[in-house]
Amino acid sequence: MLSFHHYWAAVIALVTVNWVAPLRAAPFAYISNQLDDSVSVIDTLSGNVVDTVSVQGKPAGVAASPDGNRVYVSTPEAAGFAVIDTKQRKVIAKVKVGEGSLGITVSPDSKHVYVADWYNNKVSVVGADSLKVTGTIAVGQSPSGVIVSPNNRWLYVANRLDNSVSKIDTYKQAVVKTVQVGEHPFGLTLDTRGDRLYVANVKSDDITAVETATMKVIATVKVNMLPYATALALNDSRLFVTNQDDGSVSVVDTETLKEIGLIPVGEKPEGICTHPEDRYVYVANWFDSNVSVIDARNLKVVNTIKTGEGSRGFGRFFSAH
């Protein structure tokens, strides 16, 4: 039988273990700092940068693997992407794909990495296990944002200079449909079911909502100056849009498809991604070299976190580790 002292010691130890475990499981935000050649790792529980990973080649795009093991970071000046092991917090591989590597995404099953080549008008398909290029897909001019459907079947690519978005069959590795959107499309976001695609059009200062089944435009929503990227929050009910030229984030009601709010953030906001718990939206501010954290419920900035120089964070940057 345990003594009174040993009993409470065991209870305290158990409570301590149960309390510490969530801290270790808190999602981390991996923010690319293009001017620093680094990636800042933010512990979202403490709201602090807890690590910095050196990534050469002017890191820009970020794609966190859904299994939590890796973060892929596009490196335009190194003609490819770097692979970060999230447990070691270091680069474990560098993959060459093309001179204009920018937009990057990973499939929901974590098996394939897709990289848009801005200069060569193609998307490279890379096996996540082998880190070898297994195919290339011809797309429109200056492909930028890329995203994969929840069922891994479809890949969507924003063709910036063609003012269009292409839908690619990932099994056949071929474009099946292309739709015209606004001027200079860049960032892409899919809703949870993969039924609706949101496109940020930098030059026409608007968002295009597209029905993915038919690839037809549902609506065009005017926002502010130079919308760059988007993210959904609160069960897909609100769309948040970074406006590069006026240091703000537009908020769009996805039911009415009307702008319902405008939130001041840092200077030149670019990458944007929603915390996995679906309430807080993180915004990378390029010129201010920091990250703004927005409460999606009250539409206010609740924290600002200093990162590295030239924070871009273009892509889905949250990882479990």
Please report how many Cα atoms fall inside a 13 Å half-sphere around the Cα of residue 263, on the Cβ side.
25
In a domain, 14, yes or no: no
Distance from first CA to last CA of the chain, Å, rounded?
40
In a domain, 7, yes or no: no
Domain carrying residue 191: 27-319
Sheet holding 80-85, edge to edge: 90-96, 80-85, 70-75, 61-64, 314-316
In a domain, 22, yes or no: no
Cβ atoms of 283 and 311 closer than 8 Å = no
CA distances from 283 to 134, 144, 244, 265 (A): 33, 19, 11, 8
Cβ atoms of 210 and 260 closer than 8 Å = no
Cβ atoms of 80 and 93 closer than 8 Å = no
232 pairs with which residues across the strands?
Answer: 239
Q: 3-state DSSP call for residue 161?
A: helix
Please report how many Cα atoms fall inside a 13 Å half-sphere around the Cα of residue 175, on the Cβ side.
19
In a domain, 158, yes or no: yes
Cβ atoms of 175 and 152 closer than 8 Å = no
Tell me, what amino acid is at 31?
I
Predicted local confidence at residue 17, as pLDDT: 37
In a domain, 127, yes or no: yes
- Number of C-beta neighbours around residue 96 at 10 A: 13
CA distances from 142 to 119, 160, 179 (A): 6, 5, 15
Q: Which two tokens stand for residue 320?
A: 């479990």
Predicted local confidence at residue 19, as pLDDT: 33
Q: In terms of Cα–Cα distance, which of 178, 137, 186, 187 is closest to 161?
A: 186
pTM of the model: 0.92
What is the full per-residue pLDDT of the chain (321 aa) written as tens digits? 434 334 334 433 433 333 333 344 579 999 999 999 999 999 999 999 999 999 999 999 999 999 999 999 999 999 999 999 999 999 999 999 988 999 999 999 999 999 999 999 999 999 999 999 999 999 999 999 999 999 999 999 999 999 999 999 999 999 999 999 999 999 999 999 999 999 999 999 999 999 999 999 999 999 999 999 999 999 999 999 999 999 999 999 999 999 999 999 999 999 999 999 999 999 999 999 999 999 999 999 999 999 999 999 999 999 999
Predicted local confidence at residue 285, as pLDDT: 98
Distance CA 93, CA 276 (A): 27
Distance of alpha carbon 289 from its chain centroid, rounded? Answer: 17
- Tell me, what CATH number does 295's domain have? 2.130.10.10
Predicted local confidence at residue 8, as pLDDT: 37
Distance of alpha carbon 187 from its chain centroid, rounded? Answer: 9
Residue 57 DSSP one-character state:
S
In a domain, 278, yes or no: yes
Provide the pairing of β-strand 314-316 with 61-64: parallel
In a domain, 42, yes or no: yes
Name the domain count of the chain. Answer: 1
Residue 55 DSSP one-character state:
-
In a domain, 6, yes or no: no
